[in-house]
Amino acid sequence: VGVGRHRAAELDAADPLRTYRERFAIDDYGLVYLDGNSLGRMPRATPACLQQVAAVQWGDRLVRSWDEGWMELPTEIGDRLAAAALGAAPGQVVVGDSTTVCFYKLVCAALELRPGRTEIVTDVDNFPTDRYALEGIAQARGLTVRWIQGDPAAGPTPELLAPLLGEKTALVTFSHVSYRSAHIADMAAISALAHEAGALTVGDLSHSAGSVPVELDRDGADLAVGCTYKYLNGGPGAPAYMYARAELHDQLRQPIWGWLGRRDPFAMEQGYLPAPGIRALLSGTPPVLSLIAIDEGVNLVAQAGIERIRAKGIALTELAIELADTKLADRGVTIASPRDPAQRGAHVALAHPDAERLCAQLIERCVIPDFRRPDVIRCGFSPLSTRFVDVWDGIEALRALLESSR
């Protein structure tokens, strides 16, 4: 019984974004890729773009390319990204270092803006690298991290957050979409609560940007960071971006002072003076090839439109949950993501005690989800490159596995 594969195929036929799959390099040998929220598919145009940039900008123009465009790449790609996926006006986003380094810089910058305050609030289910970075900063500065101990299938809800806030709170940091459960945090409510306490926010958009609408300006975000290699399809380890609300720029100081974040960098003068605006968040030379590889993924999101991407993400995850309920529930699989699509990003966490073994066996069968300890099979449905039949095939493969291992 249940939903047949033909219905999934019909959904694909009616999908207004169906042609976008052709914009990615996808060989049709039956791989069911459900990990676009860990490393997104490669846009078909990217290798030729890389080759062209290498041959012309590096190989031919050489050092002259810094004056001919490279210096502006961090802000140019930042502005395009801001418009396509972040709900941020120009001049507030810059692309640079790794997500971890960018997060570190923003947290330190926020702490500088709230001197004397000694507490950072986050949740125990926040993304590991964010937790580790906070621990390191807190230890170095003698600060306290106050941990929200919430429902893992939810995130840092305003209700859980509010009692931890006070006049000691410097900073609230949270993932916009939980890397495990896909729960969408209420950014506007969290911002308002933090501001009421006189604190700032640092949001991590790694699992939301490019899959759900982000409205940084509207929702009162102060600082935000995110990676570009998941739903933005920028490639492995592609540089992360940083957002800082324009009103903060005048006082903004980040800890890693380098030549690219200095006013008039080629002057190479004595003494550091931060560059005006968002460039003050830059430090050293960005990895240009990896930076340029981001561009096509951002273009695809801009062309498809985040609202249509969101609609498809909801439809894909709704189908996955419907199929899991009918095919997997009686085999011990539970849904560890919010059932309300308004609270859920573009992935679904399926919980099972044997999740680790099941994931390994799925991968052997060319169905690729993510295992997340201790018991989660995480299925990411990157809307631009995932079909409804992929959802069907993935869930069916898991059903067959559970069936055969009885």
Site for a second copy in 347-386 (CB under 8 A): 363, 368, 370, 372-373
27 vs 330, beta carbon nearer a second copy: 27
Give me the residue label for tokens 């099941």: 358
State which of positions 285-344 bind a second copy (CB under 8 A). 285-291, 293
The yes or no reply on residue 256 touching a second copy (CB under 8 A) is yes
CA angle 313, 318, 320 (to 5 degrees): 95
The number of residues making up the chain comes to 406
Distance CA 22, CA 310 (A): 19
Distance CA 200, CA 213 (A): 22
**Cis peptide, bond prior to residue 374, ω within 30 of zero:** yes
The yes or no reply on residue 268 touching a second copy (CB under 8 A) is yes
138 vs 302, beta carbon nearer a second copy: 138
What phi-psi label fits residue 201: left (phi over 0), alpha (psi between -120 and 50 degrees) or beta? beta
61 vs 249, beta carbon nearer a second copy: 61
Annotated catalytic residue, options 20, 24, 33, 127:
127
The yes or no reply on residue 262 touching a second copy (CB under 8 A) is yes
- Specify the stretch interacting with a second copy by CB under 8 A; choose among 234-242, 310-318, 321-329, 332-340: 234-242
State which of positions 179-208 bind a second copy (CB under 8 A). none
247 vs 269, beta carbon nearer a second copy: 269
Helices (H), 214-286: none
| Residue 127 annotated among the catalytic residues of the structure | yes
The yes or no reply on residue 215 touching a second copy (CB under 8 A) is no
The yes or no reply on residue 275 touching a second copy (CB under 8 A) is no
State which of positions 106-125 bind a second copy (CB under 8 A). 124
| Residue 23 annotated among the catalytic residues of the structure | no
Strand ranges (E), 270-346: 334-335
- Specify the stretch interacting with a second copy by CB under 8 A; choose among 260-268, 296-304, 320-328, 395-403: 260-268
| Residue 272 annotated among the catalytic residues of the structure | no
- Specify the stretch interacting with a second copy by CB under 8 A; choose among 34-42, 154-162, 343-351, 390-398: 34-42
Q: Choose, by CB under 8 A, the member of 136, 158, 276, 353 that binds a second copy.
A: 136
| Residue 229 annotated among the catalytic residues of the structure | yes
Closest approach, Cβ 1 to a second copy, in A, equals 33
Distance CA 379, CA 396 (A): 13
1 vs 268, beta carbon nearer a second copy: 268
Residues 6+ away with beta carbon under 8 Å from 193: 158, 161, 162, 165, 172
Q: Starting at the edge strand that comes first in sequence, how are the strands of the sheet with 376-380 ordered?
A: 334-335, 347-351, 376-380, 370-372
Annotated catalytic residue, options 80, 230, 344, 387:
230
Kind and range of the H or E run holding 345: none
Please, what is the angle between helix 306-327 and helix 5-13, to 10°? Answer: 170
Q: Choose, by CB under 8 A, the member of 104, 174, 241, 392 that binds a second copy.
A: 104
122 vs 343, beta carbon nearer a second copy: 122
Q: What are the phi and psi torsion angles at 241 (to 5°)?
A: -120, 155
Annotated catalytic residue, options 204, 219, 295, 393:
204
Distance CA 104, CA 134 (A): 8
SS3 at position 232: coil
Residues contacting a second copy: total by CB under 8 A: 76
Q: Choose, by CB under 8 A, the member of 17, 38, 351, 399 that binds a second copy.
A: 38
Contact 278, 94 (CB under 8 A): yes
Distance CA 232, CA 245 (A): 22
Residues 6+ away with beta carbon under 8 Å from 98: 237, 239, 240
The yes or no reply on residue 162 touching a second copy (CB under 8 A) is no
| Residue 378 annotated among the catalytic residues of the structure | yes
- Specify the stretch interacting with a second copy by CB under 8 A; choose among 5-13, 96-104, 154-162, 314-322: 96-104
Kind and range of the H or E run holding 392: helix 388-404
Distance CA 105, CA 240 (A): 12
- Specify the stretch interacting with a second copy by CB under 8 A; choose among 93-101, 158-166, 305-313, 344-352: 93-101
Q: Cα 190 vs. chain centroid, distance in angstroms?
A: 18
Provide the residue type at 310 as one letter. R
Annotated catalytic residue, options 20, 103, 104, 229:
229
Q: Choose, by CB under 8 A, the member of 9, 98, 220, 248 that binds a second copy.
A: 98
SS3 at position 22: helix
33 vs 315, beta carbon nearer a second copy: 33
- Specify the stretch interacting with a second copy by CB under 8 A; choose among 8-16, 53-61, 87-95, 157-165: 53-61
Please identify every residue annotated as catalytic: 127, 204, 229-230, 378
